Structure 1
Amino acid sequence: MRARNIPVPEASLAGIAAGVALEQVRRWRLKSRPRAGWALVAAGSLVIASSLKAAGNTDLAKPEGLVTSGPYAVSRNPMYVGWGLLQLGIGLITGSGWMLATLPAVGAGLRLDVVREERRLEQHFGDEYERYAAKVGRYVPTR
C-alpha cells in the first residue's frame, strides 16, 4: 500500500537546489557537523517514511478521509517537517552556508503551502478537521 499523489514540497527542493547552485557560484563554507547532520537526515527520512506508511493508499492530493495516525497524530504536516530536517541535515553535513541560509525562505514558502492546504482540508472536512487541528499542532506537538 502506497500513498498516491505524494506532495513533494517545491520550496524544499528549490531551497536545496539553490543552496547547491549558490555554493558552485561562490563558496560559503562553515564548519561541518556531520554527526548532527546525519542524525537530522535520518530523522527527516524516518518522519517522511512513517508519514507515507500512515497515509497508506490515501490520495494525498484529494483525500477521502483525514489521516490522523502515526506522525499525523503529533503533527498536522509531518512530511513538511521531514523535508525541513533533511535540508538542515544536508547543510550541516556539507558545511554549506548557502544550504542553511536558504532555510528561512524555504520555511516561508512551505508555510504558504501548508496554510493553503489546511484551508482546503477545513473546507472539505469541516468540523472534523477543526477538531483535529485544535488538538494537533501544525508542525510540532502543542502539548
Structure 2
Amino acid sequence: MPEASLAGIAAAGALEQVWRLPLPLPRNVGWPIVAAGAGVIAGSLKAAGTNELATPERLVTAGPYAWTRNPMYVGWGLLQLGIGVIAGSGWVLVSMPLVGAVVHREVLREERRLEERFGNEYRRYSVKVGRYFPQR
C-alpha cells in the first residue's frame, strides 16, 4: 500500500507550507534510510519474482520475506521516514502513526487472506517470521 505512505508524504508537504515543523536531525541521515527502504522493496520484488502479490500462487518466504512477513510495507515506511528526514519535516514523522494504522489494517486483511489460501503453511511461517520486525 504505497498509496498510504505517499499520501502521508503529500499531506506532510502541504502542512509544511502552512506551518513549519522542523526536524532536529541532520538531513543527510535520511539518505541511508531511503536507500534501506528502496533495497527492501527491490529485494521483495525480486523474491516474489513472477508471483502476483495480490493473488499469490505460492507463499513467498525467501529474501526479505524471511525476516518480515510484510517487507514491502516496511520498505515504504522507511522511504516515508527517510524522505521526511531529508526534507527536514517533522510533519512526515507526525503523519507516520496515522499511515501506520491504515497500513496495519490492510496487513491484517492480507494476512487473513493468506491464511485462508495457504492454511498451515502460512501459520507455520507466521510463527517463525515477525509481522514487521525480525523475531530474533
TM-score bin (small chain): over 0.9
- 8 Å contact kept, 1:32–1:94: no
SS of aligned partner of 1:102: helix
SS class of match (1:59): coil
Equivalent position of 1:101 in the other structure: 94
Check if 1:30 corresponds to 2:23.
Answer: yes
CA RMSD of aligned residues (A): 1.1
Could you list the runs of 5+ residues in structure 1 that have no partner in the other structure? Answer: 1-7
1:40 to 30, 33, 42: 33
Question: Residue 36 of structure 1: CA displacement?
Answer: 1.7
- Report the TM-score, using the length of structure 2 for normalisation: 0.95
Superposed structure 1 runs of 4+ greater than 4 Å apart: none
Matched, 1:129 2:122: yes
| Separation (CA, whole Å) in 2 of partners of 1:118 and 1:105 | 20
Among 66, 69, 82, the residue aligned to 2:62: 69
Looking at secondary structure, tell me which structure has more helix per residue.
2
Aligned equivalent of 2:10: 17
Q: Show structure 2 runs of 5+ residues with no match.
A: none
TM-score when normalising by structure 1: 0.91
Q: Which residue of 2 aligns with 1:110?
A: 103
Aligned positions, number? 136
**Percent identical across equivalent pairs?**
66
